[in-house]
């Protein structure tokens, strides 16, 4: 099956934020290049959504399909895989409203996630960071990340303790806002 090559593989045809997935932030053979990115066809040779997008005129995003919302998007998914599906429908709405702004905010979320993984990871927090960054409202995430980045006491801590404190701040904000912080298997 011919696959779409996408200029921006960070935000998938199906509404997932690929750049916030743990597999996007992995080195080695299990790394995913994002939707339609280089090598995508090798990683996902039978992507049903990509096949559907091709059949519907090589649409860029499912929300641009004349049949949207189809059965796949009538209700949010109840399960997750490597990345959370909780916010797919709200993210579609945001992207529909302003397809210029959504990728900019997604790129900033990506940068926050990269900072968390690089500086505040205790070796077991990557999936948590991916889920919370994906599911948290952009403005709330900006607020808590500013608190993390500029907290001198937190940033002066040893690695595992620094990761624990950063995780706690994210969990606290998530709980306040009712944000899902774990993958639903």
Q: Apex CA 26: angle with CA 18 and CA 178, to 5°? A: 50
pLDDT surpasses 60 at 56? yes
CA distance to 33, 90, 99, 102, 109, per residue, from 96 (Å): 24, 10, 6, 9, 18
pLDDT surpasses 60 at 146? yes
> Can you give the residue ranges of every domain in the chain?
18-177
* Three-class SS state of 11: strand
Give tens-digit pLDDT for 71-124. 999 887 888 888 888 999 999 999 999 989 999 999 999 999 999 999 999 999
Lowest pLDDT segment from 42-51, 103-112, 128-137:
42-51
Q: Peptide bond before 125: cis, by omega within 30 degrees of 0?
A: no
Contact (CB, 8 A) for 35 and 13 = yes
């Amino acid at each position: 099956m011919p696959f779409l090559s996408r200029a921006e593989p960070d935000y998938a045809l199906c509404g997932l934020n690929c750049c916030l997935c743990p597999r996007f932030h992995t080195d080695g053979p299990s790394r995913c290049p994002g939707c339609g990115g280089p090598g995508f066809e090798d990683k996902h040779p039978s992507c049903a959504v990509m096949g559907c997008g091709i059949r519907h005129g090589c649409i860029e995003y499912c929300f641009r399909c004349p049949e949207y919302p189809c059965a796949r998007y009538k209700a949010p998914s109840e399960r997750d895989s490597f990345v959370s599906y909780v916010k797919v429908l709200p993210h579609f709405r945001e992207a529909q409203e302003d397809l210029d702004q959504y990728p900019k905010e997604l790129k900033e979320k990506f940068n926050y996630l990269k900072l968390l993984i690089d500086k505040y990871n205790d070796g077991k927090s990557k999936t948590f960071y991916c889920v919370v960054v994906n599911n948290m409202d952009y403005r709330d995430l900006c607020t808590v990340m500013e608190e993390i980045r500029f907290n001198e006491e937190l940033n002066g801590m040893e690695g595992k303790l620094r990761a624990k404190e950063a995780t706690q701040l994210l969990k606290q904000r998530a709980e306040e806002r009712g944000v899902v912080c774990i993958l639903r298997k």
